[in-house]
Amino acid sequence: MVQQVPENINFPNEEEKILTLWKNLNCFKECLKQSKNKPRFNFYDGPPFATGLPHYGHILAGTIKDIVTRFAHQSGFHVDRRFGWDCHGLPVEYEIDKTLGIKGPEDVAKMGIEAYNKECRGIVMRYAKEWEFSVTRLGRWIDFENDYKTLYPEFMESVWWVFKQLYDKGLVYRGVKVMPFSTACNTPLSNFESHQNYKDVQDPSVTVSFPLEEDPSVSLVAWTTTPWTLPSNLALCVNPELQYVKLKDKATGKIYILMESRLVALYKSDSEYQILDRVG
In a domain, 272, yes or no: yes
Same-domain check for residues 49 and 180: yes
Check if the beta carbon of residue 108 is closer than 8 Å to that of residue 184.
no
Q: What is the per-residue pLDDT for 92?
A: 85
In this structure, the answer to whether residues 185 and 217 fall within a common structural domain is no
Q: Report the pLDDT value the prediction gives residue 201, as an integer from 0 to 100.
A: 79
Residue 96 lies inside a defined structural domain of this protein: yes
Whether 80 and 140 map to the same domain: the answer is yes
The domain boundary, picked from 168, 195, 222, lies at 195
Assigned domain for 6 exists: no
Domain ends where: 160, 195, 230?
Answer: 195
Residue 2 lies in a domain: no
Within 8 A by CB and 6+ apart from 225, the residues are 203, 204, 205, 206
Q: For the whole prediction, is pTM greater than 0.85? A: no
Strands 143-149 and 82-85 turn out to be: parallel
d(CA 163, CA 167): 6
Q: Are residues 67 and 183 in the same domain?
A: yes
CATH number of the domain within which 273 lies:
3.90.740.10
Residue 84, pLDDT score? 92
Q: Is residue 129 part of a domain?
A: yes
- For residue 1, tell me if it sits in a domain: no
Residue ranges of the chain with pLDDT lower than 70?
Answer: 1, 197
Range of the domain at 272: 206-279
- The pLDDT score that the predictor gives to residue 6 is 79
Angstrom distance (rounded) from CA 57 to CA 53: 11
pLDDT value for 219: 95
Total structural domains within the chain: 2
Domain co-membership, 65 together with 190: yes
**In a 10 Å sphere around its CB, with 0-12 CB exposed, 13-18 middle and 19+ buried, how is residue 56 labelled?**
exposed
Domain check: are 165 and 83 in the same one?
Answer: yes
CA distances 252 to 220, 247, 268, 274, 278, Å, are 15, 12, 15, 12, 20
Q: Residue 203's pLDDT is what?
A: 77
